[in-house]
């Protein structure tokens, strides 16, 4: 029986502080944990056997999957120390006895798994790597294919002078069980750094499937925000939770509103927008395009929120302005504050009144910022 191996053990250090209190696959995208998009894709493709590799904050992932997908056959493989992408699969090998998929717990992709499997079988491949065109290949492995789609050149995270392709590894693979023979049990073993170069050297049958649809690696704040925007603009399914507002409310796009929302008068809503259940939005607020408001958020009067993601249970007080930023759960933003593009507030942050968080700055969990502060470096300062 073909299984999907879902890699969900990483610490997500590039998108801290969002991963200080939750594993990366549970970060919400348009109010839905990102792992649900991935498992939903597996289920929709007709597969109901899943192997999940776990390490960091593993119990949170187990709890969600057991609650959300009781009808799936899910096995767990727990890593006590980092084993790398290939090492993690090797540890889970007792659950693998047939062709299998490898999927990343922090990548959103609109790809047909059955189409990739057919390609893999047709080429009698040992390994099929799903590839996609990117603008900046420096963050990924890059490949060159021959006329038969076999990979003839591959390099992980090239420096600028080493770039020979803009076709990048998406981290999605179809593999035969024989691949496990190429993976040792020594330390951290990575597919891109250790296993694939060996397959290439031996001409062992490594093929590339070029995907021209949606793909987003949510490892950085910029790509995380973009993923939220893409769900709102229906570039990736499923669409957000909530009831659609009737046509004609709002200027530019769809709006989804949860249960028990209290929206006062004189509110401007400019879609696409998602407002979670139990929210209170007081008068004279502007909720701008590409905004996601989590459950039980309270926005006091005269607040503007544009292009931002506000996690559940946060409170934003009178006259504050949030633009293209991320606010984690249970924060309090005191009146008259301004949070600039790309800034991240961790959970339980209290931002003092009339403070300003400068662009791309991070404030870690449970930090208290004094009134009238200008936060122009990450806080606390990490040396």
Q: For residue 124, what pLDDT is reported?
A: 92
Q: Which residues pair with 215 in a beta bridge?
A: 109
Contact yes or no for 110/130 (Cβ under 8 A): no
3-state secondary structure (DSSP) of residue 64: helix
Q: For residue 311, what pLDDT is reported?
A: 97
Q: How close are the terminal C-alpha atoms of the chain, in Å?
A: 49
Give span(s): CATH 3.90.550.10, the chain. Answer: 3-232
Q: For residue 383, what pLDDT is reported?
A: 39
Residues 199, 125: Cα–Cα separation, whole Å: 11
Contact yes or no for 362/378 (Cβ under 8 A): yes
Q: Which CATH number does 3-232 carry? A: 3.90.550.10
Residues 100, 116: Cα–Cα separation, whole Å: 11
CATH, domain 243-375, list 2.60.40.2470, 3.30.300.20, 2.160.10.10, 3.20.20.60: 2.160.10.10
Task: Profile the chain (383 residues) by mean pLDDT over runs of 10 residues.
Answer: 83 83 92 91 87 88 90 88 85 88 89 91 92 80 84 79 79 91 83 86 88 86 92 88 65 82 88 93 93 96 96 96 96 96 94 94 92 86 47
Q: For residue 27, what pLDDT is reported?
A: 93
Give span(s): CATH 2.160.10.10, the chain. Answer: 243-375
Q: For residue 382, what pLDDT is reported?
A: 47
Query: Taking the CA of residue 172 as centre, how many other CA atoms within 13 Å lie in the half-sphere pointing to its CB?
Result: 26
Residues 56, 52: Cα–Cα separation, whole Å: 12
Contact yes or no for 342/222 (Cβ under 8 A): yes
Cα angle 108-93-98, degrees, rounded to a multiple of 5: 80
Burial of 82 (0-12, 13-18, 19+ CB in 10 A): middle
* Pairs from 365-368 (Cβ < 8 Å, separation ≥ 24): 365/17, 365/20, 365/21, 365/328
Place of tokens 């963050």: 139
């Amino acid at each position: 029986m073909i299984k999907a191996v879902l890699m969900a053990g990483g610490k997500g250090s590039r998108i801290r502080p969002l991963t200080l209190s939750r594993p990366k696959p549970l970060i919400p995208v348009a109010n839905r944990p990102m792992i649900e998009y991935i498992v939903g894709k597996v289920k929709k493709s007709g597969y109901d056997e899943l192997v999940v590799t776990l390490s960091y904050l593993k119990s949170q992932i187990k709890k969600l999957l057991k609650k959300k997908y009781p009808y799936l056959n899910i096995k767990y493989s727990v890593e006590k120390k980092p084993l790398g992408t290939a090492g993690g699969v090797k540890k889970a090998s007792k659950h693998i006895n047939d062709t299998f998929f490898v999927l990343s717990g922090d990548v959103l992709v609109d790809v047909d798994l059955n189409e990739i499997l057919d390609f893999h079988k047709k080429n009698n491949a040992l390994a099929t790597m799903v590839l996609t065109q990117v603008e900046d290949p420096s963050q990924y492995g890059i490949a060159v294919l021959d006329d038969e789609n076999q990979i003839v050149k591959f390099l992980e995270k090239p420096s600028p002078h080493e770039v020979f392709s803009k076709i990048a590894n998406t981290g999605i693979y179809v593999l035969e069980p024989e691949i496990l023979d190429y993976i040792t049990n020594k330390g951290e073993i990575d597919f891109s750094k250790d296993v694939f170069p060996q397959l290439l050297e031996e001409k062992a049958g490594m093929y590339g499937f070029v995907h021209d649809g949606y793909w987003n690696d949510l490892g950085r704040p910029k790509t995380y925000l973009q993923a939220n925007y893409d769900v709102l603009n229906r570039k990736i399914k499923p669409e957000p939770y909530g009831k659609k507002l009737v046509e004609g409310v709002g200027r530019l796009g769809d709006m989804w509103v949860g249960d028990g929302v209290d929206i006062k008068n004189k509110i401007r809503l400019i879609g696409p927008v998602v407002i979670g259940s139990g929210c209170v939005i007081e008068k004279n607020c502007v909720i701008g395009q590409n905004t996601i408001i989590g459950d039980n958020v309270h926005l006091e009067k005269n607040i503007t929120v544009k292009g931002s993601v506000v996690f559940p249970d946060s409170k934003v007080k009178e006259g504050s302005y949030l633009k293209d930023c991320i606010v984690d759960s249970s924060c309090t933003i005191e009146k008259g504050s301004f949070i600039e593009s790309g800034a991240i507030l961790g959970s339980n942050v209290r931002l003092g009144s009339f403070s300003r968080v400068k662009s791309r700055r991070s404030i870690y969990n449970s930090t208290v910022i004094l009134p009238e502060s200008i936060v122009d470096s990450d806080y606390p300062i990490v040396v």
